[in-house]
């Protein structure tokens, strides 16, 4: 726990660097460097206040250890506002069913380090998720997207993978 508190300041700084980056043009966004965080994906999320809902749900689903120890993964992390935009009955239903919650959360995780900013052509790129279905990378309105969620320009590189902040919750077909 002490390590998490120590990491909080540097993670908050790293994540705050990324949240203001959307004002850049798409070309600048595609070449933005990743911010490095000294800790796991879970440590970085815990240290980022705007991801507290995601952290609470990851803990509720029992996925924290898996996401902290699995190497070479990418998490597309919805903000608190993204979860807040969902209808309350939907959130309640998902949270009440651990299998469904796990499916939704693992739909936000891929292996490797895909960079959604690099989908420049008009053909959507796809990547399988840990949930089993694929997410799609592309552009809309000059913004990098995963499915239709806007991707923040700057990724955070952690000890076991990469975190991309997104503005919407990704929902798999169930």
Residues 5-57: tens digit of each pLDDT = 233 333 333 344 344 433 344 456 777 888 999 999 999 999 999 999 999 99
- DSSP β-bridge partners for residue 111: 73
Residue 4 has pLDDT above 70, yes or no: no
State how far the Cα of 90 lies from the Cα of 88, in Å rounded to an integer: 5
Residue 95 has pLDDT above 50, yes or no: yes
Band of the pLDDT at 123, cuts 50, 70, 90? low
| pLDDT for residue 21 | 38
> Which range among 18-32, 120-134, 148-162 has the greatest average pLDDT?
148-162
In the chain, domain spans: 2-166
- What CATH superfamily classification does 2-166 receive? FAS1 domain (2.30.180.10)
Q: What is the DSSP string of 47-81?
A: T-GGGHHHHHHHHHTT-HHHHHH-SSEEEEEE-HH
| pLDDT for residue 11 | 36
| pLDDT for residue 92 | 96
Sheet (strand 109-111) strand order: 35-36, 156-157, 161-166, 73-78, 109-111
User: Between residues 13 and 101, which one has the greater pLDDT?
Assistant: 101
| pLDDT for residue 117 | 87
Burial (CB count <10 Å: 0-12, 13-18, 19+), residue 145: buried
Q: What is the mean pLDDT of residues 63-80?
A: 98
């Amino acid at each position: 726990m002490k390590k998490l508190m120590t990491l909080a300041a540097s993670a908050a700084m790293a994540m705050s660097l990324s949240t203001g980056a959307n004002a850049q043009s798409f070309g600048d966004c595609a070449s933005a460097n990743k911010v490095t965080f000294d800790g796991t994906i879970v440590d970085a999320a815990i240290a980022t206040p705007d991801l507290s809902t995601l952290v609470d749900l990851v803990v509720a689903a029992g996925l924290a250890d898996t996401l902290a120890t699995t190497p070479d993964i990418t998490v597309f992390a919805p903000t608190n506002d993204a979860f807040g935009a969902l209808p309350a009955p939907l959130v309640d239903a998902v949270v009440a069913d651990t299998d469904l919650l796990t499916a939704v959360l693992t739909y936000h995780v891929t292996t490797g380090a895909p960079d959604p900013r690099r989908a420049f052509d008009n053909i959507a790129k796809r990547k399988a998720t840990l949930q089993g279905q694929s997410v799609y990378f592309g552009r809309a309105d000059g913004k990098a997207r995963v499915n239709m969620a806007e991707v923040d320009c700057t990724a955070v590189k952690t000890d076991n993978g990469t975190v991309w902040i997104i503005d919407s919750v990704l929902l798999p077909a169930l």
